[in-house]
């Protein structure tokens, strides 16, 4: 995707931001185990899509980073998985998972 296409796509994903050749989102879970449960949900979606995020777990904060390494940057695959991650977070929000700083 071009820089303009990525910028335009990010308008539909308010919790995501661009970091170099990746997009990233951090989520703060109410407990460590809630964060781990979220990671499990995302891992299953990623495996089904055969497109795997980098996942960083820091106590209750889980950060997802997406990039299509074989393409050298952000592609539509990343935004498709970002949408699935957002859906997983929306389900988890019902269990009180919040965005950091909220």
Q: Please, what is the average pLDDT of the chain?
A: 91
Q: Tell me the domain boundaries of the chain.
A: 3-93
For helices 32-49 and 76-93, what crossing angle results, to 10°? 150
Q: Which helix (H) or strand (E) holds 36?
A: helix 32-49
Q: For the whole model, what pTM was predicted?
A: 0.88
For the stretch 41-91, pLDDT in tens is: 999 999 999 999 999 999 999 999 999 988 889 999 999 999 999 999 988
Q: Could you tell me which CATH class the domain 3-93 is placed in? A: alpha beta
């Amino acid at each position: 995707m071009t820089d303009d296409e990525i910028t335009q796509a990010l308008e539909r994903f308010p919790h995501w931001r661009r970091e170099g050749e990746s997009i990233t989102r951090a989520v703060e879970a109410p407990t460590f185990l809630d964060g781990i449960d979220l990671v499990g949900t995302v891992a299953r979606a990623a495996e089904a899509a055969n497109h795997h995020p980098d996942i960083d777990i820091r106590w209750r904060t889980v950060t997802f980073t997406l990039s299509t390494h074989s393409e050298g940057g952000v592609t539509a695959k990343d935004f498709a998985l970002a949408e699935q991650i957002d859906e997983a977070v929306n389900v988890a929000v019902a269990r009180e998972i919040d965005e950091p700083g909220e």
